[in-house]
Amino acid sequence: MGAADYQVDEKGHLEKNNYLNCEKGLKSWLFTIDHKRIALLYLGAMILFFLVGGLAAVLIRLHLWSSDSKLLSPDMYNVLFTLHGVLMIFLFIVPGIPAVLGNFLLPLMIGAKDVAFPRLNLFSFWIYLLGALIGFIGLLDPVWLVSKIKGSAIGTWMPLDTGWTFYTPYSTSTGAGSGWGTIIMTFAAFVLGFSSILTGLNFIVTIHRLRAPGLTWFKLPVFVWSLYATSIIQVLATPVVGITLLLLIAEKVLGVGIFDPEKGGDPILYQHFFWFYSHPVVYIMVLPAFGIIGEIIPIFSRKPIFGYSAVVFSSVGIAAVSFIVWAHHMYTAGMSPFSQAFFSATTFGVAIPTAIKVFNWVSTMYKGAISFEAPMLYAMAFVFLFMIAGTTGIFLATLGLDIFYHDTYFVVAHFHYTIQGGAVIGLIAGLHLWFPKITGKMYNKKLAIFAFWLIFIGFNVTFLPQFILGVQGMPRRYAFYIPEFEPMHRLSTIGMFFNAIGYTLALLNLALSWVFSKEKAPANPYKALGLEWQAPSPPPHDNFINTPIVTVGRYDYGKPLEDLGLKGGVSG
């Protein structure tokens, strides 16, 4: 279609022939190669998994209301926290921001029509679904189910109860399926990993090859930089899952002793493999959220991002360091004191670039003209929550302290501050920020802010008490606990209600606004400078009607200092 086929109104809204309605029918969605539609497919699947995983969390917290709760059997409790972890980590937050917002925005932000390999992008989505399917099979104790159908079942049905870390030899011996559940789950992680690798490759090539003329590396959005760092981690770390899978199968089928001490293997080796992949994965989850915060704060402060190159290099630095910190999960596993000291030291190396990012975000607000729309509130909440996540991370990195805190609720709280307070808040913030671009509508702003406060207060009431539980010595993954821990657990459960209602409300607000709102979103509702705001809302299939031109820097808000009669600062 030519430019004449698009009727963009004066505000930049594109009612007809946008990417949402240019083709119709289920097939046009399931087999689309448009990065924007693929992003929405991911979003739909991920929200489904998020809701199921969230429901598991609600049940877990209800069960923990009292110390000897009868709500769930211990086995059911174990199954639920496994389900919660597996869904939230592998199916929701690891693909998370890159698959949804990355996919949607990367071509728009660099002025491209699509990613470098649109078909590969669709393939990534389908193997993501395939991986999810395999994961569910693994969770459901398939060996027992099959033997039940054959009529030769022994024992009772026991879905996967290993926790999302699958530590051997527990994971390779549990359940009637005698560990096949874990192998199938690892296979699922491997298939999902392939999806990650392909998306990562796609993004790397896209960023290298498809930038608009004039958009040099150091003019790229910080979100794109964070996607780039994330993609590199995905491509390099994920193959280790494949190696682990092959070793697990070799042990099971050929009887070679690798992880199982009965056969002469070493269970600690499994932990090395697991964390060599799964630690960098934590940064896959949270780096893109850093990028989103780095986009939001300049827009709502009307200021250039403070110290652009420091923000960029700290992302790349975190990605690099993330590969040499994995064994900080294993201080109590009995590694040599030297290894422990080494991994403690490298872990502290993460703190420095992370601190730099926080300083830069806050400084960006200096002398700004700050408005407090929902995305900005989320971004400011992110800074607060991430300060807590970061400083408690220091406790856990500290060798002598982690000997105590390891596998207590302190870790649970820290992890949720990082991943929910970081990655999920980042994702929600980004969904709000780019909602008008994605849907061509505007969300209900008052409701969005109300939902924000529910989430923010609920989250802190849920997880701050868990730090105290950790200090008291409450171990994690406990279906029952001693009565001394009850008050903090009750507080945490109360917080959970607000948190859960907040998320439900925020998602409902976005969904219902999309369907029912009459308000047509303009191309650039925030008067932001990024390239994606030059495209109509919603964008057409090929993103831009006219070739986008980079005339002004993405972060060149406000007036040059000379014009204001000021001196100092750093030029672009």
Partner 1 sequence: MKIVPEKASTIASDFDFLNLVLFIASAFFTVAIVGVMLYFAFRYRRRSNEDLDKTPRIYGNHILEIIWTAIPTVVVIFIAWWGIVLREKMFAVDSDHITVFVNSWKWAWEFRYETGKKSSGKDAVLVVPVNKPVKLILTSKDVIHSLFIPAVRVKQDAVPGSYKYMTFTPTRIGEYPIFCTEYCGTQHSTMMAKLRVVSQEEFDVWVNYVETDEGPSAELGKKLYSELGCNACHSLDGSRLVGPSFKGLYGSERELSDGSIVVADDAYILESIQYPLKKLVAGYPPAMPAYSLKDEEYLGLLSFIKEVTFGKDQGEELVSILLDEDKVPEDDALLQPEQRGARLVQQKGCVACHSLDGSQLVGPSFKGAWGSTREFTDDSTGKVDEEYVRESIYEPNKRIVKGYLPAMPSYQGQLSEEQINDIIEFLKSLK
Shortest separation between residue 467's beta carbon and partner 1, angstroms: 10
**Closest distance to partner 1 from the beta carbon of 308 (Å):** 7
Query: Binding segment for partner 1 among 95-103, 127-135, 287-295, 341-349 (CB under 8 A)?
Result: 341-349
Distance in Å, CB of 317 to partner 1, minimum: 11
Per CB under 8 A, the list member of 231, 344, 493, 537 interacting with partner 1 is 344
Q: Which of residues 172-191 bind partner 1 (CB under 8 A)?
A: 173-174
- Of 28 and 73, which has the nearer Cβ to partner 1? 73
Q: Which one, 157 or 372, has the nearer CB to partner 1? A: 372
Q: Residue 274 Cβ, how far from partner 1 at the closest point, in Å?
A: 13
CB of 250 to partner 1, least distance (A): 18
CB of 161 to partner 1, least distance (A): 7
Contact stretch for partner 1 (CB under 8 A) within 5-13, 201-209, 224-232, 329-337: 329-337
Residues 80-139 that bind partner 1 (CB under 8 A): none
Q: C-beta of 278: minimal distance to partner 1 in Å? A: 15
Considering the complex, what minimum distance in angstroms separates the CB of residue 34 from partner 1?
34
Residue among 121 and 244 whose Cβ is closer to partner 1: 244
State in angstroms the smallest separation of the CB of 304 from partner 1: 5
Nearer of residues 417 and 435 to partner 1, judged by Cβ: 417
SS3 8: strand
Size of the site for partner 1 (CB under 8 A): 104
Tokens of 503: 């998320």
Query: What is the three-class DSSP state of 408?
Result: strand
User: Looking at 340, 444, 460, 462, which residue binds partner 1 (CB under 8 A)?
Assistant: 340
Q: Choose the stretch contacting partner 1; rule: CB under 8 A; options: 27-35, 201-209, 395-403, 498-506.
A: 395-403
What are the CA-CA distances from residue 283 to residues 93, 231, 350, 380, 489 (Å)? 11, 11, 10, 20, 29
Fill in the per-residue mask, 32 to 61: x = in contact with partner 1 (CB under 8 A), - = not in contact: ------------------------------
**Residue selected from 28, 332, 511, 512 as contacting partner 1 according to rule CB under 8 A:** 332
The nearest distance, CB 481 to partner 1, in angstroms, is: 7
The Cα-based distances of 202 to 169, 196, 281, 488 in angstroms read 37, 10, 18, 46
Q: Residue 72 has what DSSP assignment?
A: S
Shortest spacing between CB 159 and partner 1, in angstroms: 13
Binder among 33, 351, 449, 457 for partner 1 (CB under 8 A)? 351
Nearer to partner 1 by C-beta: 23 or 486? 486
Dist CA 470 CA 475 (whole Å)? 7
Q: Please, what sign has the CA dihedral across residues 243, 246, 249, 255?
A: negative
Burial 252-266 (b: 16+ CB within 10 A, else e): beeeeebbbeeeebe
Query: Least distance in Å: CB of 25 to partner 1?
Result: 43
| Site stretch for partner 1 (CB under 8 A), options 2-10, 336-344, 441-449, 493-501 | 336-344
Residues numbered 486 to 515 that lie near partner 1 (CB under 8 A) are 487-488
List binders of partner 1 among 398-427 (CB under 8 A): 398-404, 406-408
How many other CB atoms sit within 10 Å of the CB of residue 250?
13
The contact pattern for partner 1, residues 452-491, with x = CB under 8 A and - = no contact, is: ----------------x--xxx-xxxxxxxx-x--xx---
Cα torsion for 475, 410, 196, 322, to the nearest 10°?
-120
Maximum alpha-carbon separation in the chain: 85
CB of 387 to partner 1, least distance (A): 4
Q: Which two tokens stand for residue 191?
A: 């298939």
**In the window 269-328, what residues touch partner 1 (CB under 8 A)?**
301-304, 306-310
Please give the Cα distance from 376 to 353 (Å, whole number): 22
Peptide bond into 98 cis (omega under 30): no
**Measured from the CB atom, is 75 or 519 closer to partner 1?**
75
Residue for token digits 């296979």?
Answer: 187
**Rounded Cα distance, 458 and 493, in Å:** 10
Contact partners, residue 337, CB within 8 Å, separation at least 6 = none
In the bound state with partner 1, the residue whose beta carbon lies nearer, of 379 and 545, is 379
**Any idea which residue has 């099979």 for tokens?**
137
| Span 354-393, contacts to partner 1 by CB under 8 A | 355-356, 358-360, 362-363, 365-372, 380, 383-384, 387-388, 391-392
By the rule CB under 8 A, 161 interacts with partner 1: yes
One-character DSSP codes across 311-332: HHHHHHHHHHHGGG-GGGG-GG
Is residue 410 within 8 A of residue 467, CB to CB? The reply is yes
Residue whose entry in the numeric block shows the structure tokens 């505007």: 442
d(C-alpha 453, C-alpha 502), whole Å: 8
Contact 172, 252 (CB under 8 A): yes
Q: Which is nearer to partner 1, 265 or 536 (CB)?
A: 265
Tokens of 298: 């300049």
What's the CA gap between 82 and 285, in Å, rounded?
19
Token couple for 553: 């820097």
State which of positions 542-561 bind partner 1 (CB under 8 A).
Answer: 555-561
Of 127-135, 319-327, 350-358, 446-454, the segment contacting partner 1 by CB under 8 A is: 350-358
Which CB sits closer to partner 1, 239 or 473? 473
Report the half-sphere exposure of 33 (CA within 13 A, side-chain side): 9
Terminal Cα distance for the chain, rounded: 38
- Report how far residue 435's alpha carbon sits from residue 180's, in angstroms, rounded to the nearest whole number: 42
Closest CB to partner 1 among 239 and 267?
Answer: 267
Unique residue bearing structure tokens 């799964």: 278
Q: Residue 261 corresponds to which amino acid?
A: P
**What is each CA distance from 167 to 108, 268, 330, 350, 520, in whole angstroms?**
42, 9, 12, 25, 51
The footprint of partner 1 on residues 196-225 (CB under 8 A) is none
